[in-house]
A and B are shown apart, each in its own frame.
Chain A
Amino acid sequence: MQVPILKQGQYLIASIQAALSDQDLVQLRDALAEKVGRLRARGVIVDVTVLDVMDSFASRTLRDLAHMTRLRGAETVIVGIQPEVAFSMVQLGLTLEGVDTALDLEEGLDYLDKKTKRSTSRG
């Protein structure tokens, strides 16, 4: 199942709609990394609200995604991790190190606004 990627201003929003296979995840990662450059996005939001399981492959792919987009000039925020999912991830040692997270889409947009503004004013 493919994940729709929406463009909203300078940001790309990938809203996961159902449980994803490993292949879908890789596809999502590659599609986002490619679109970040083509659409000149400054930020990426991946909404995982519907996921009730996050295995090691999924969290590694999301981490790779975040690092890849950062190298291509966009910040990634993972939003909507459920409390239960968060805790089981931590117990498995999957802490998404170096990846920004936010409560939900709204918070994620807010976060990106602040972060990109900061880096613009600085740069």
Chain B
Amino acid sequence: MDDLKTKRKDERIRSVSPSRLVPPPDNESTVPESTVPLLRELVAHLRKNRTQLREEWARRITEAKLLTAMTREEIFAEATSVYDNYVEVLETGAVEALQAYARDLSERIIPRGVETDEVVGIVLLLRDVLARSLFAKYQADFQLLNRILDAYEPAANRIANTVAVGFVQERERIIRQQQEAIRELSTPVLQVRERLLILPIIGVIDPQRARQLTEQLLRGIRTNRARVVVIDITGVAAMDATVANHLVQTVEASRLLGATVIVTGLSPEIAQTLVTIGVDLGKMNTVGDLQGGIEEAERLLGYKVAPLNEPSQQTT
């Protein structure tokens, strides 16, 4: 089981590695000699008209009803940063700073509910605004405009790509983090009496979680020297046949360790699933609710719970 666990972790780490998501540096990153002066001219133009273009962009963002979760001032502040980063990338061709900024920006705006299409939308809008200003400036000389666009387009595409990928990556990182957190939180194995464990299961069980539950339960049985385990699945609305089978296997594996399992809180749907897959009910000890399960467990363990004020001699 340990091997499997580490293997899974490896896979996870591999999938986290961003190198797969970022397109490999292609010929775009090495700026051809001839475009360097053009790009320099372009950058000078964008620097000169910074205020005006920035305002135009912010206006277009509001107009397109993007970034509705943010105030006008915030949009303008972010637009300024993005604009400056954008121009810098055009100038130097190095996307690292923009990448870091995109990650940082995503971190700030994802919790506020900004969607992927909005982020992609604003970057494409900026691309559009700048391209239009280039058209306006060079419309007299079609040849020059053509060459300027040749220099501008690949760089702009790369920037849009970087920002979008950065945003999606950040989003995925948050999702992974949350999945991890849910997984860690959701599987406590609790001892309620000497030799008696409770495993309350809440939420959806997928095959991976089912496996993890089993692992934890079997370890818990060993470390706590449990003789009876109550698995409470009141909080599980439905399970498919695979997971139901897994539950049955867990019960059997626990028995091999010398522990009796009592399953409580089966919903009608789960009961139906169990019957449909033809579970041998002789092997499964089921009780209606958690209280009944604990009482049954106490009976198996030989406990007798009596109220304090009633002398136990009377009750026996």
Nearest CB on A from B89, distance (A): 53
Nearest CB on B from A90, distance (A): 4
B221 at the interface (CB under 8 A from A): yes
B214/A103 in contact, CB under 8 A: no
Q: Which of A83, A91, A103, A104 has the most CB of B within 10 A?
A: A83
B249 at the interface (CB under 8 A from A): yes
- Closest A residue to B224 by beta carbon equals A103
- How many residues of B are counted as interface, with CB atoms below 8 angstroms from the partner's CB atoms? 20
Q: Given the complex, which residues of A lie within 8 Å of B218, measured CB to CB?
A: 83-84, 86-87
B107 at the interface (CB under 8 A from A): no
A95/B227 in contact, CB under 8 A: no
- CA of A104 to CA of B255, assembled, Å: 13
Q: Given the complex, which residues of B lie within 8 Å of A116, measured CB to CB?
A: none
B225/A87 in contact, CB under 8 A: no
Nearest CB on B from A16, distance (A): 15
Chain A contact surface mostly: helix
Chain B contact surface mostly: helix
B257 at the interface (CB under 8 A from A): yes
B256/A96 in contact, CB under 8 A: yes
- CA of A118 to CA of B249, assembled, Å: 30
- How many residues of A are counted as interface, with CB atoms below 8 angstroms from the partner's CB atoms? 20
Instruction: Find residues 1-57 in chain B having any chain A CB closer than 8 Å to their own CB.
Output: 1-2
A103/B215 in contact, CB under 8 A: no
A107/B227 in contact, CB under 8 A: yes
A13 at the interface (CB under 8 A from B): no
Q: How many A-B residue pairs have CB under 8 A?
A: 58
Nearest CB on A from B300, distance (A): 12
Q: Given the complex, which residues of A lie within 8 Å of B252, measured CB to CB?
A: 90, 95
- CA of A104 to CA of B227, assembled, Å: 11
B259 at the interface (CB under 8 A from A): yes
Q: Given the complex, which residues of B lie within 8 Å of A15, measured CB to CB?
A: none
Once A103-B221, A107-B227 are accepted as A-B contacts, the answer to whether A87 and B255 lie under 8 Å apart by CB is no
- Closest A residue to B2 by beta carbon equals A84
- CA of A80 to CA of B182, assembled, Å: 33
B255/A83 in contact, CB under 8 A: no
Q: Given the complex, which residues of B lie within 8 Å of A87, measured CB to CB?
A: 1, 214-215, 218, 249, 253
Q: Given the complex, which residues of B lie within 8 Å of A95, measured CB to CB?
A: 252, 255-256
A91/B257 in contact, CB under 8 A: no
A10 at the interface (CB under 8 A from B): no
Q: Given the complex, which residues of A lie within 8 Å of B215, measured CB to CB?
A: 83, 87
Q: Given the complex, which residues of B lie within 8 Å of A81, measured CB to CB?
A: 256-257
20 contacts between A and B (CB under 8 A): A78-B256, A83-B215, A83-B218, A83-B219, A84-B218, A86-B253, A86-B254, A87-B214, A87-B215, A87-B218, A89-B253, A90-B250, A90-B252, A91-B249, A95-B252, A101-B257, A103-B259, A104-B258, A107-B227, A111-B258
Q: Interface residues, chain A, CB within 8 Å of chain B? A: 78-79, 81, 83-87, 89-91, 95-96, 101-104, 107-108, 111
